[in-house]
Structure 1
Amino acid sequence: MPVRGDFAALLRAWRDRLQPAAVGIPAGIRRTSGLRREEVAMLAGISVDYLVRLEQGRSERPSEEVVASLARVLQLSDAERDQLFIAAGLPAPSPRTVPHHIPGSVQRLLARLPDVAVGVYTTHWTLLTANAAWVALLGPLDRARNLIVQQFTGTAVPVVQSAEQVEHFERALVSDLRTARLKYPDDPSVRDLVERLTGIDRFARLWAEGTIVEHRSKVKTFVHPQVGTVTLDCDVFTATGTDIRIVTYTAAPETEDASRFDLIRALGAAEVG
């Protein structure tokens, strides 16, 4: 059983130590060195009042989703994340389920690379978070959005590509999902995803073939509603020691596509402002 007050104390301590610059917030003039409660609450998707109650020990049974979100925002290490779960009276995330924890180093990439569109996914391609450039390019952030579902249901952001490119991309996604099912057999989200997609003929065919295909660096041409077409380099990385996937979109400097990407980001910033 957790010791009363441990969860509250850990939240306060880890909020105080996290520098605003680590999450892309200008430091300015502050009474404390860490993040404000309002900033943590906004980033975690919870109310300020609820965070106050958690930090004061007046609400000691937060949900698994809330604790995972706070661990992500506070950029905790795996050991610290597990400690926060235990202090909340919850079991630490099992290695037999898909990791959702985003390392602090990856979160700093999001904050420190404003000219690069960066999206972070689970191993079975559920979006965890993204930076402002990503949102400007691909639309509002929806952390429940799954790329495989989008691709096979025709709800993905329109991309200009050949039939061969589509085939390779879909085979790579199916390969990734099969790997996730083998590696995390106890994760219900993986089983549910496979069951949902097997009703789609194109997915069922690729799944039955069992072909292993890896992602490769490539270019993608997007059709932006205001700017028009923009062609960007797409790369997929895996954070060392995790199954977290990092997808980046960049433009070659001093090109027309770079200018268009600059405009897309500027339009996105104006909408937020």
Structure 2
Amino acid sequence: MAKRELARFLRARREGLRPADVGLPADRRRRTPGLRREEVAELANMSVDYYARLEQARGPRPSPRVLDALTGALRLDRAERTHLFQLAGAPPAPPPGPVRRVRPDVSGLLDRIPDAGAIVTDASYDVIASNPLARILLGGDFETEPNLARRRFLGTGPLPESSGREEFGRVVVSRLRRAAERYPRDAALAGLLRELRAGSAEFVELWESDPVHAPGHRTKTVPHPGGGTLRVNCDILVVPDDDQQVVFITGDPGTPAARALRELNRTLR
């Protein structure tokens, strides 16, 4: 029974993916929906025969390494990965690293909240999505330096001075400590932590104090790009399955900050 359930799950996920979802070119000659078995096998770095036997409920019990490869090939989220391990009768291993892709429904939120700056950060504090208003408020291009921890402690990119700078430092360290516990095998995260320890005595001091901060509502004073300051709200929406956070920057209705954000937003249209 377990093998058949695993086979059904793999087929359903494969047939629900489009080539574009995994970075493959579209092929109009496809007669069936979804990816081909050989495409999934190539993405998972395994033989087509082995993958086909899994889908036919004939294969051996896959190892955790194979299950992690299938997780990446089939673009499974955290909950789906856990389900895959359960179907295979294997204890879920720690995820290899933070999820660094943004779900379409999450990225769509960034432009559906009127007159709000919005960013999405992964567990290592990389900005993996943002809207134009957030880029103006937070210092522009996130492609050159996407990591807010580096910006905060190493000065590798703009980070507006605000009334919450010290608190943000504690929040960053708290989140990175939890990420290090969850993703001990992630080379990119380990490299980031080495950089921060080597380049910032403040980071080392905060790390040793082991701060604990829960995401939620905070009020900050930030500089207006045109001069002066704005008193804004920073509210965090947690995406638990992907270990990501969506940060919304807004002004209270009827306040100068709300009017300023509205005018800034209009200039971007």
Deviations along 1:95-115, whole A, 9 cap, x unmatched? 221111222321221232242
Q: Give, as a single letter, the amino acid of the residue that structure 1 aligns with 2:162.
A: V
Structure 2 stretches lacking a partner, 5+ long: 1-13, 29-33, 45-68, 73-80, 82-94
What RMSD over aligned residues (CA atoms) do the two structures have, in Å?
3.2
Deviations along 1:43-101, whole A, 9 cap, x unmatched? xxxxxxxx8x82249xxxxxxxxxxxxxxxxxxxxxx99x9983662434382211112
**8 Å CA contact 2:136, 2:225 repeated in 1:** no
Q: 1:256 to 1:87 in 2, by over 3 A?
A: farther
Q: 1:211 to 1:132 in 2, by over 3 A?
A: closer
SS in 1 for 2:235: strand
Q: Percent identity?
A: 24
Q: Does 1:54 align with 2:8?
A: no
Q: Give, as a single letter, the amino acid of the residue that structure 2 aligns with 1:158.
A: P
Q: Which residue of 2 aligns with 1:234?
A: 234
Deviations along 1:231-253, whole A, 9 cap, x unmatched? 21001221142201111101111
Structure 1 stretches lacking a partner, 5+ long: 1-5, 16-50, 58-79
Larger Rg: 2
Q: CA deviation at 1:184?
A: 0.7
Q: Which residue of 2 aligns with 1:177?
A: 176
Q: Which residue of 2 aligns with 1:86?
A: 40
Normalising by structure 1, report the TM-score.
0.63
Aligned residue pairs total 200
Normalising by structure 2, report the TM-score.
0.64
Q: Which residue of 1 aligns with 2:125?
A: 125
Q: Which residue of 1 aligns with 2:147?
A: 146
Q: 1:85 to 1:120 in 2, by over 3 A?
A: farther
Deviations along 1:20-63, whole A, 9 cap, x unmatched? xxxxxxxxxxxxxxxxxxxxxxxxxxxxxxx8x82249xxxxxx
Q: 1:172 to 1:225 in 2, by over 3 A?
A: closer
Q: Which residue of 2 aligns with 1:10?
A: 18
Q: 1:211 to 1:222 in 2, by over 3 A?
A: closer
SS in 1 for 2:219: strand
Q: CA deviation at 1:202?
A: 0.5
**8 Å CA contact 2:138, 2:160 repeated in 1:** no
SS in 2 for 1:108: helix
